[in-house]
Amino acid sequence: MAADITKLLRISLQFNFGDIGIGAHGGNAQCRYYSPALRTAIIRCARESAKVVWAAVTLITEHRGRRVRPRVIHVGGTIKKVQLRAMGLDRAAISNLQTVMAQTGPEIGDEDDLAANLQPPNSLDVLEDVGAPLDMALAVGPLSTPATGARAGADANDNDDLGEPISSLGEVIPRDQFPPIT
């Protein structure tokens, strides 16, 4: 499934950003981990590509005929920090499921209801069904110097934040409504 997400991400880069987008950012973007039970993926990409890959993930709307609603829940400087965040979400989801199971008890045939309760407690509450959620955490590849192999600007915590969400850039215009280039 991780290979499917990598392919889906590259298709999104190609469709939304064209040949330049896929050429500049598609080669280094790769899904390293996917949990189907928790619908969480970890995508690794270069630091320079993080915001474009974030946008490409956000613009994915469908996978294998099913509508999906991906959202980036964490952007980190190393795979380790992103894995720690994903493990925290896993623990929160398991705790949430245990609470639900203790309150209601298991019933035969309620697998779909149980899967819906696996969402982490910080998931968005949506009134209308817009597709299955697919949480993704972007792991941004460290920048290293050839001589030392150390990452430039590494701090003790290595808890990097790469800024505001892409949605702050403005309104998205559908491709068929672009003005003609003259």
What value does the mean pLDDT take over residues 38-43?
Answer: 84
Strand pairing of 132-141 and 40-46?
parallel
Cα–Cα dist 44/87, whole Å = 17
Confidence of residue 56 (pLDDT cuts 50, 70, 90): very high
What value does the mean pLDDT take over residues 157-166?
Answer: 44
Are 40 and 137 spatial neighbours (Cβ–Cβ below 8 Å)? Answer: yes
pLDDT (tens digit per residue) in 80-120: 888 888 888 888 888 888 888 888 765 555 555 555 555 54
Question: For position 146, what pLDDT does the model report?
Answer: 39
Instruction: State pTM to two decimals.
Output: 0.56
> Average pLDDT, whole number, for the chain?
70
Question: For position 63, what pLDDT does the model report?
Answer: 83
- Distances in whole angstroms, Cα of residue 81 to Cα of each of 18, 138, 158, 171: 31, 10, 8, 32
Q: E strands within the chain?
A: 30-35, 40-46, 62-63, 66-76, 132-141
- Distances in whole angstroms, Cα of residue 160 to Cα of each of 56, 76, 145: 21, 5, 18
Are 39 and 86 spatial neighbours (Cβ–Cβ below 8 Å)? Answer: no
Look-up: residue for tokens 């829940």?
73
Confidence of residue 128 (pLDDT cuts 50, 70, 90): very low
DSSP class of 144: B
Question: For position 92, what pLDDT does the model report?
Answer: 85
pLDDT (tens digit per residue) in 130-146: 445 555 555 554 433 33
Residue 64 has pLDDT above 90, yes or no: no
The ranges assigned to domains in the chain are: 2-119+130-143
More confident site: 178 or 35: 35
Question: For position 155, what pLDDT does the model report?
Answer: 43
Highest mean pLDDT among 70-74, 142-146, 168-172: 70-74
Residue 149 has pLDDT above 90, yes or no: no
Give the chain's end-to-end CA distance (angstroms, integer).
Answer: 43
Look-up: residue for tokens 């619908």?
39
Cα–Cα dist 165/145, whole Å = 28
Alpha-carbon torsion angle 143, 167, 118, 109, nearest 10? -130
Look-up: residue for tokens 């790769």?
30
More confident site: 119 or 13: 13
Question: For position 178, what pLDDT does the model report?
Answer: 58
